[in-house]
Structure 1
Amino acid sequence: VSPASLSPLIDVRSMTHLHAGLSSETTEKARLELNENPDTLHQDIQQVRDMIVTRPDIGFLRTDDDFILRFLRARKFDQTETFRLLAQYFQFRQQNLDMFQSFKVDDPGIKRALMDGFPGVLETPDQHGRKILILFASNWDQSRNSFTDILRAILLSLEVLIENPELQINGFILIIDWSNFSFKQASKLTPNILKLAIEGLQDSFPARFGGIHFVNQPWYIHAMYTIIKPFLKDKTRKRIFLHGNNLNSLHQLIQPECLPSEFGGTLPPYDMGIWARTLLGPDYNDETEYTLTYDALHIKFVILCEKSHKFMKKKTGILKLKS
């Protein structure tokens, strides 16, 4: 059996693996909304991978099919935009090494932020299958949590969640409740800090955010929004909704059946520790990729590549013998 005759078999198996766990509805949604075509999936992934040589200044520490696919989905299979996002993902980590040196759930700063509900993650998705993240801004105790640790906890949570291919396609909703968020707390949200958050979430992460909802925001949060507006893409600006005290306008976009009682929903009050317990529970394995530091991820990925290469050589040899 020649390598050429084996490639369709390998492609079909890989393609099945890439779509494993997806419902038929989500597969169709990916086709209609994201331009995802199972017949050209590997070609799309490889074309993005081929662009890596154009950026020798960036260490692309992970380039496997599963990883690149989430970036394609985040940019609706526009390969140029996909590669730009992939490059920005690793560039952001290289430029902010201190944020990712201990990027794992048991890092003291990340652990404190998670235990304080940064972020909260609802078990029930919205009516479009989007995962709902919530932040109660007034819970930010600046003597306990730095803003950087909160951002790290949010990014780590997204790394865990984005492993789910359904969420790569359906995306996320973010609700920020500004109730009792003081002017003193707001004064700590400097332009540099806010710019860092925008770079980390909007420009450098492969997640589809279907909406960012502000509720109960005071006037000084409106002022803050005015400051950050120039850093936001048009698409992001169109997805930010300032509801104030009007929960009816929130319910027009997210059904009450998907929301806890704090947001006028029919679900019980949100348990602030539920997501932290999910990550810190007895079944949590801190050896998975998203818990590793930048350097450790590189080492682990090199080992995985070597193992994968040996496995494929062995597998190909078996197939040749059988033929």
Structure 2
Amino acid sequence: MSESLINLSELKFKLKKELDEPSNPQLAIDELRTLIKGDILLKSRMDDAFMLKFLRARKFKVNKAFKLVVHGMSIEDVFKINLMILEVISEHPDTQLAGIVAIADFTGFKWLKHYQYLSPYYAKKSAEVVQDSFPLRFQGFHFINEPLYLYTVYSIIKPFLKEKIRCRVHFHGNNFDSLHKYIAPSKLPTYYGGNLEFDPITWVQQLLSKEQYLKELEQYGYNR
């Protein structure tokens, strides 16, 4: 077995221990499924893989995982494209275990096209997605090439964020050295001063290949 495979195996073991993942997660999966079935207004997926990603997002605390399912089904479709991307990457078991680090690059961002999202309403919705409505562990948020008015936007969102999330928000401007203090260049694409070759077209094609899966997700949620 190669060293990389050994390291990956060790990482998965460490992460599962960190999440308090039981040796047999089926009991927690069944318990969460029972809670969902008990909510007669909630229409949700019932497969084990779906249950497992919500349980991992809440360290196998079943009641908290159930609340996450409920919030996720109730949230309005505010940022549909981003949510589609998150849905796709959240299906991967390694992502469920390790969580994600998000980088928002504001190069070319047009203020007039997006000013409507700067209200307290949308700020609160953004906070809900990160904290209470999506089965992913958000490990960090890094903003680069951000305009000055983004600090005003963040001041609107900040009151809705929990302290542990606030500590994971970082602004770097165009200083990639600052970004590299948190994310090693070996994990970043070349255009962020890293070593990885990343083709966004390939990623878009992967997303489009999940079209049927994403359409199936639209049938789930609360009956209005």
**1:68-217 paired onto structure 2 within 5 Å:** 68-92=51-75, 96=76, 99=77, 148=78, 151-185=79-113, 187-191=115-119, 192-217=121-146
Question: Counterpart amino acid of 2:54?
Answer: F
Asked if structure 2 preserves the Cα contact closer than 8 Å seen for 1:213 and 1:242, the reply is: yes
Cα-to-partner distance string for 1:20-48 (whole Å, 9 max, x where unaligned): xxx53244123321000113x12222222
Report if aligned partners of 2:31, 2:62 keep a CA contact under 8 Å in 1: yes
Query: What do you get for the CA RMSD once the two structures are aligned?
Result: 2.4
Q: Give the Cα separation in 2 of the matches to 1:38 and 1:291.
A: 33
* CA distance in structure 2 between the aligned counterparts of 1:63 and 1:53, rounded to whole angstroms: 9
Task: Give, in angstroms, the shift of residue 213 of structure 1.
Answer: 0.2
Normalised by the length of structure 2, the TM-score is: 0.83
Percent of residue pairs bearing the same amino acid type: 37
Q: Which residue of 1 aligns with 2:3?
A: none
Change (3 A) 1:267 1:50: closer
Alignment partners' CA distance in 2, 1:43 and 1:60: 21
The aligned runs of 1:227-246 (5 Å cut-off) are: 227-246=156-175
Give the whole-Å Cα distance in 2 for the aligned partners of 1:66 and 1:179.
Answer: 37
Does the CA contact (< 8 Å) of 2:104 and 2:144 recur in 1? Answer: yes
- Which gives a bigger RCO, structure 1 or 2 (Cα 8 Å, sep 6+)? 2
Q: CA deviation at 1:221?
A: 0.5
1:180 is displaced (CA, Å) by: 4.2
Give every structure 1 segment of 4 or more consecutive aligned residues whose post-TM-superposition deviation is greater than 6 Å. none
Residue 18 of structure 2 corresponds to residue 33 of structure 1: yes
Distance (Å, rounded) in 1 between the aligned partners of 2:15 and 2:103: 25
Aligned counterpart in structure 2 of residue 44 of structure 1, from 7, 28, 31: 28
SS at match of 2:206: helix
- TM-score w.r.t. length of structure 1: 0.59
Name structure 1 gaps, 5 residues minimum: 1-22, 100-147, 299-323
Counterpart Cα distance in 2 of 1:199 and 1:169: 21
2:186 alignment counterpart: 257
The one of 41, 48, 61 equivalent to 2:44 is 61
Q: Mark the runs of 5 or more structure 2 residues left unpaired by the alignment.
A: 1-7
The one-letter amino acid paired with 2:112 is K
Q: Which residue of 2 aligns with 1:305?
A: none
State the aligned residue count.
213
